Amino acid sequence: MELISPTDFAKEKVLAVQEYALLSAHAIANLFRQPRYFADIVQQADFIGFGSLPIVVLTGFFTGAVLALNSASTLQKFGSLTLIAQLVSVGMVTELGPVLTGLMIAGRNSSGMASELGSMVVTEQIDAMRALGTNPIKKLVTPRVVSTVFMLFFLTIISDLLGLFGGAVISHLVYAIDWHQYWTSAWQALAFRDVFTGLVKPLLFGFIVSTIGCYYGLSARGGTQGVGRATTQAVVAASVLILAVDLFATKLLMAILGNR
C-alpha cells in the first residue's frame, strides 16, 4: 500500500467533508426546484418504510422487553417495581427508539443506497443520466432524503410503541404488574420535552442515513470492489454519526427545553 503524508490525508478528509456538505445542500435546495420527482419519492418511501417494518417492529419489541427485564431487577432491590413503566417509556421514547431505529435503517438503507448509486457510478449510468440532461442529485438523492426522513419519523413512532408493548408483556407476565396500571403510568411519565426530543431525532437520523448512503455511493471508485467498500463505509459512517449527533442533539435539546 502506498503511504500518504499526513497533510495530504488531512486535505483529503477536509475535501470529503466539504463535498458531503455540498451534496447535502444541493439535495435540500432541489426540494424547491422543478421538476419534483413524486413517483420516485413514493417508490423509495415504499421500499424504505414498508420494507423496514419487520425489523423495526422486532427491534422495538425486544428492546422494550429487555429494558423492562433489566431495570426491573434493579428496581426490585429498592422496592419500587412500579416505576418500571416510566423507565421503559422515557427510555424508549427519548433514546432507544430513535437511536436503534436509526441504526437499523442505517444498516439496511445506507448500504442499499451506497451500493445502488455506487454501481450506477461504476457502470457510467450516472454519467449517462447527466448526458441525458437529468440532474442525478435531483433525481436520485433528493427523493431518497425526503422519503427516509419522512419514513424514519413514523418508523420511530412504531418502534416506540412496540417497545412499550414489549415492556408491558414482560411486566405483566414476569412481574405481574397490572396491564392498565402499566399503560397509565407509562403515558403519564412522558413530558412534552421527551416526546419532542424523541421526534426531532429521527428527522436528523433520517437525513444522516440518506445523505451518507448517497454520498458514499456517488463517490465510489474502482469497480465492484469499490462499490463494496463504499457500502461498508456508508454503514459505519452513518452509524457513528447517528450516535455522535444523538449526544449533541440530546445536550442541545436539554439546554433549550430544560432538564428533567
Partner 1 sequence: MAAPPIAIELPVKFSRESASPVIVFENVSIAFEDKPVLDGISFKLAKGETKAIFGVAGSGKSTLLKLALGLIKPDSGSIYVLGEDIVQKSEEELFELRRKVGIVFQESALFDSLTVRENVAFRLLEEGHISESEIERRVREALSFVELENTVDLFPSELSGGMRRRVAIARAIITEPEILLYDSPTAGLDPVTSTTIVELIVKQRDVYKTSSLLVTHRLQDAFTMASHYFDPKTNHMQPLPPAAIPDVPICFLLLRDGKIIFDGSVKDLAESKDEYIREYIS
CA-to-CA separations, 22 to 52, 57, 215, 221, 243, in angstroms, rounded: 28, 35, 10, 19, 22
Minimum Å gap between C-beta 93 and partner 1 is 38
Separation of alpha carbons 20 and 62, rounded Å: 35
- Restricting to residues 56-75, which ones interact with partner 1 according to CB under 8 A? none
8 binds partner 1, rule: CB under 8 A: no
Minimum Å gap between C-beta 25 and partner 1 is 14
Separation of alpha carbons 43 and 55, rounded Å: 19
Separation of alpha carbons 42 and 46, rounded Å: 6
130 binds partner 1, rule: CB under 8 A: yes
Distant-in-sequence, close-in-space partners of 218: CB < 8 Å, separation ≥ 6: 23, 117, 118, 121, 126, 136, 141
**Choices 13-21, 130-138, 144-152, 249-257; region in contact with partner 1 by CB under 8 A:** 130-138
**Which residue lies nearer to partner 1 by CB, 111 or 119?**
119
127 binds partner 1, rule: CB under 8 A: yes
Contact 55, 108 (CB under 8 A): yes
Minimum Å gap between C-beta 128 and partner 1 is 4
Separation of alpha carbons 113 and 170, rounded Å: 37
- Restricting to residues 131-160, which ones interact with partner 1 according to CB under 8 A? 131-135
Side-chain-side CA neighbours of residue 101 (13 Å): 40
Contact 63, 96 (CB under 8 A): yes
129 binds partner 1, rule: CB under 8 A: yes
**Choices 66-74, 119-127, 176-184, 246-254; region in contact with partner 1 by CB under 8 A:** 119-127
**Which residue lies nearer to partner 1 by CB, 34 or 259?**
34
* # of chain residues touching partner 1 (CB under 8 A): 15
Binding mask 19-48 for partner 1 (x = CB under 8 A): ----------------x-------------
**Which residue lies nearer to partner 1 by CB, 102 or 112?**
112
CA-to-CA separations, 99 to 88, 179, 207, in angstroms, rounded: 15, 27, 13
**Choices 118-126, 189-197, 201-209, 239-247; region in contact with partner 1 by CB under 8 A:** 118-126
Contact residues for partner 1 (CB under 8 A)? Answer: 35, 119-120, 123-125, 127-135
